[in-house]
Amino acid sequence: MTGIPVSVVVVSRGRADALQRCLLGVSQLQYDPFEIVVVADPDGIKAAGAMPFSTQLKLHPFHEANISAARNLGLTHAAGEVVAFIDDDAVPEPQWLHHLVAPAARADVAAMGGFVRARNGISFQWRARSLDALGEGQDMDVNPEQATVLTPPAGRGVKTEGTNMAFRRTTLIALGGFDPAFHYFLDETDVNMRLAKAGHATAIVPLAEVHHGFAENRLRTATRVPRDLFDVGASWAVFQRKHVANDQRALQWTRLRTSERTRLLRHMVAGGLEPRGVRRLMRRLDDGYAAGLVRPITPAKLPIHPASPFHRFPSQLRKSTMIVTRPAHARADRAKAAARVRGGEIVTLLNMSPTALFHHVRFEGDGVWVQYGGLFGRSDRAAPLFRLTTRARRAEKERKRVALQRGLSHK
């Protein structure tokens, strides 16, 4: 389990409960050595301080609503050779760092990014993407079980998602870290473009998975309805000033603006927004874009040496097991699963009803990975709606689907 020293940075604001669940998941990581750096608002620091392993965390208060500045503070205190970032509303699979950091054994790899599962725990929110000269992403096909190392051509980049990315610390420091002009949105895309311009390679690592809850925050509701688009507009203006040719900016902004309005209209039709809400959000988008056109762009000056020594988290080699249950036995088996987690295991509880219900996966607050759905229902959303099978065969299929990410053995 021993590898390159890694610092896991978690930035949190306004989501103390989600932060605790994230940290519980990080504590189950099957990797050594790593440290955990938490940069959070007062409520987040209090929540992290209440965790049973709080003395093993680096806790750094941060009050400003600026994700780039918060990540830079985490980077400043990170003492690992590689620095990994995960959002507070996400949870990593137990083998996340094992897969994510492996490409760093190659000297030419400066950045690594993994796949992100969506709220249902099955579908993918983000997989492999490249970036064009305008900073917009296009899907890529890569080997689903092996890392792919890419050095993009001039003017393009390789996308890493903010909730599942890692960088060599020396490289990210040399680039100036994250640009504080990006208060929210496009902060990692800006880093990706600067990495590519400097000629660095990025590894896309499909098996390095995190589950992203997409929790509500000050800028969106729990149902993903925007509350404010000011920072989106501002970030696009800053990004264009840094990376997009002058003669392409107006056309791109017109297209992006139209796309945002279309998204808001879909929310309105679905009942999530009133017409006046659409108008207000579009005004905020335009106001943000205007502000971004004059926002100061000042490169961050980060210290070469970490501000604090490496604080090794006491990672534990854990056995990963799956308990197969059904609704009639679920309560008792859930209690057994939680007890085994407290005993030091990684436990997946597979609860299958005799139906064709879709499957969902969630990491619960007691540390149990819970998957529930119908025996005949689909987990992979591209699979048939109904497929006859036995409980043993279906359990083995689901075991194999997540074995490499969760550390489950194949029977």
Angle, CA of 72, 170 and 205, to the nearest 5°: 85
Task: Based on the fold, state whether residues 38 and 161 are members of the same structural domain.
Answer: yes
Asked if the structure places residue 220 within a domain, the reply is: no
Same domain membership, residue 234 and residue 123: no
The reply to whether 186 and 278 lie within a common domain is no
Of the candidates 10, 65, 64, 76, the residue with the CA atom closest to the CA atom of residue 37: 10
**Domain harbouring 172, CATH code:** 3.90.550.10
pTM of structure: 0.95
How far apart, in whole angstroms, are the C-alpha atoms of residue 357 and residue 353?
Answer: 8
In a domain, 221, yes or no: no
User: In this structure, are 173 and 283 located in the same domain?
Assistant: no
Domain boundary among the residues 277, 292, 307 is at 292
Where helices occur in 80-229 by DSSP H, the ranges are 96-101, 169-174, 187-197
Residues 27 and 139 in one domain: yes
Cα within 13 Å of Cα(393), Cβ side: 5
Q: Is residue 81 part of a domain?
A: yes
**Are 154 and 31 in the same domain?**
yes
281/157 same-domain check: no
Q: Which residues form the domain of 90?
A: 2-212
The answer to whether residues 50 and 150 belong to one domain is yes
Q: For residue 97, is it within any domain?
A: yes
In this structure, the strands spanning 201-212 and 148-150 are antiparallel
Residue 302 lies in a domain: no
In a domain? residue 224? no
Q: Check if the beta carbon of residue 87 is closer than 8 Å to that of residue 163.
A: yes
Residue 313 lies inside a defined structural domain of this protein: no
Q: Could you give the number of structural domains in the chain?
A: 3
Same domain flag for 383 and 341: yes
Strand order in the sheet with 346-353: 320-325, 346-353, 369-374, 360-363
Q: Tell me the pLDDT of the chain (411 aa) as tens digits.
A: 568 999 999 999 999 999 999 999 999 999 999 999 999 999 999 999 999 999 999 999 999 999 999 999 999 999 999 999 999 999 999 999 999 999 999 999 999 999 999 999 999 999 999 999 999 999 999 999 999 999 999 999 999 999 999 999 999 999 999 999 999 999 999 999 999 999 999 999 999 999 998 566 776 777 778 999 999 999 999 999 999 999 999 999 999 999 999 999 999 999 999 999 999 999 999 999 999 999 999 888 899 999 999 999 999 899 999 999 999 999 999 999 999 999 999 999 999 999 999 999 999 999 999 999 999 999 998 888 999 999 999 999 999 999 999 999 855
